[in-house]
């Protein structure tokens, strides 16, 4: 019975190490900047690794009051492009911690 307790403590230490590494990876993701583009680079949206929009850039030549709907579509497309890339980066970064582990809710 005592051997089982030592093994349990070792597992707890491993889990704590993994939690710390996951927290560090999560923090690093927040510092990442991922760029999405639309309209051949006419609209650029930058998001963080935490999937927050941090910057929107629109080239001057795009701004035409008659084409506001097109501009809105380009911003939407660039935002979705950046968010998909951020999701891919998150899955790639955090996936290393859950390989082979079945964690409900992840």
CATH number, domain containing residue 56: 3.30.1310.10
Do the domain assignments include residue 57? yes
Q: Write down the pLDDT at residue 33.
A: 93
Tally of domains within the chain: 1
Per-residue confidence (pLDDT) for residue 105, from 0 to 100:
57
86, part of any domain:
yes
Residue 40 lies in a domain: yes
Q: What is the pLDDT of residue 35?
A: 92
Domain membership of residue 20 (yes or no) is no
CA distance 62 to 31: 30
- Report pLDDT for 96: 78
Residue 8 belongs to a domain: no
Residue 43 lies in a domain: yes
Full residue range of the structural domain in which residue 63 is found: 32-97
Task: Name the pTM for this structure.
Answer: 0.61
Strand ranges across the sheet with 53-58: 33-38, 43-48, 53-58
**Residues of the chain predicted below pLDDT 70:** 1-5, 100-106
Q: Who contacts 96 (Cβ-Cβ below 8 Å, separation ≥6)?
A: 25
**Nearest one of 31, 36, 48, 25 to 95, comparing CA atoms:** 25
């Amino acid at each position: 019975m005592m051997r089982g307790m030592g093994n349990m403590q070792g597992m707890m230490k491993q889990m704590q190490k993994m939690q710390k590494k996951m927290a560090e990876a999560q923090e690093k993701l927040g510092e990442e900047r991922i760029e999405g583009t639309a309209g051949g680079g006419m609209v650029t949206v930058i998001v963080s690794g935490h999937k927050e929009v941090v910057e929107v850039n629109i080239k001057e030549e795009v701004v035409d009051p008659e084409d506001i709907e097109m501009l809105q579509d380009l911003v939407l497309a660039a935002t979705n492009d950046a968010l998909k890339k951020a999701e891919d980066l998150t899955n790639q970064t955090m996936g290393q911690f859950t390989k082979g582990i079945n964690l409900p809710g992840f």
